[in-house]
Structure 1
Amino acid sequence: MFLAETANCHVFNIEYPLAPEHPFPVPVLVTYEVVQWIFQHTDTLHLDAARIAIGGHSAGGNLATAISLWNAEQTHPVPLIAQILDYPPLDLATDPADKSFFKEAIPTEQARQFNAMYIARAEDAYHHLTSPLYAAQIEALPQTLVLTAELDSLAQEAQQYAKRLQAAGVHVEHLEFAGQPHAFTHHGDANVALQAWQRIADFLRHVFQSAKRS
Structure 2
Amino acid sequence: FPVPVHVAYEVVQWIFQHADTLHLDASRIAIGGHSAGGNLATAVSLWNAEQTDPVPLIAQILDYPPLDLATDPADKPFFEEAIPAEQARQFNAMYIARAEDAYHHLASPLYAAQLDALPQTLVLTAEHDSLAQEARQYAKRLQAAGVAVEHQEFAGQAHAFTHHGDLDVALQAWQRIADYLKSVYRS
Deviation at 1:117, TM superposition (A): 1.0
- What amino acid is the match of 2:33? G
Deviation at 1:38, TM superposition (A): 0.3
- Which residue of the other structure, out of 164, 167, 172, is the alignment partner of 2:149? 172
More displaced 10-residue stretch of structure 1: 53-62 or 115-124? 115-124
% same residue: 87
Indicate whether 1:52 and 2:13 are aligned.
no
Aligned counterparts of 2:146 and 2:108: Cα–Cα separation in 1: 20
Deviation at 1:122, TM superposition (A): 1.0
Indicate whether 1:119 and 2:96 are aligned.
yes
Indicate whether 1:155 and 2:132 are aligned.
yes
1:85-164 equivalences in 2 (<5 Å): 85-164=62-141
Gaps of 5+ in 1: 1-23
Aligned counterparts of 2:27 and 2:168: Cα–Cα separation in 1: 33
Give the structure-1-normalised TM-score: 0.87
Aligned counterparts of 2:118 and 2:67: Cα–Cα separation in 1: 15
Deviation at 1:203, TM superposition (A): 0.4
Please list every run of at least 4 consecutive aligned residues from structure 1 whose deviation after the TM superposition is greater than 6 angstroms: none
Gaps of 5+ in 2: none
Deviation at 1:123, TM superposition (A): 1.0
Match of 1:28? 5
Note the alpha carbon deviations across 1:65-117, whole angstroms, 9 max, x for none. Answer: 00000000000000000000000000000000000011100001000011111
Give the structure-2-normalised TM-score: 1.00
Aligned counterparts of 2:2 and 2:146: Cα–Cα separation in 1: 28
Match of 2:39? 62
Aligned counterparts of 1:117 and 1:84: Cα–Cα separation in 2: 24
Match of 2:20? 43
Aligned counterparts of 1:137 and 1:107: Cα–Cα separation in 2: 31
Aligned counterparts of 2:71 and 2:170: Cα–Cα separation in 1: 28
Deviation at 1:188, TM superposition (A): 0.2
Deviation at 1:26, TM superposition (A): 1.0
| Residue correspondences, number | 187
Aligned counterparts of 1:38 and 1:31: Cα–Cα separation in 2: 11
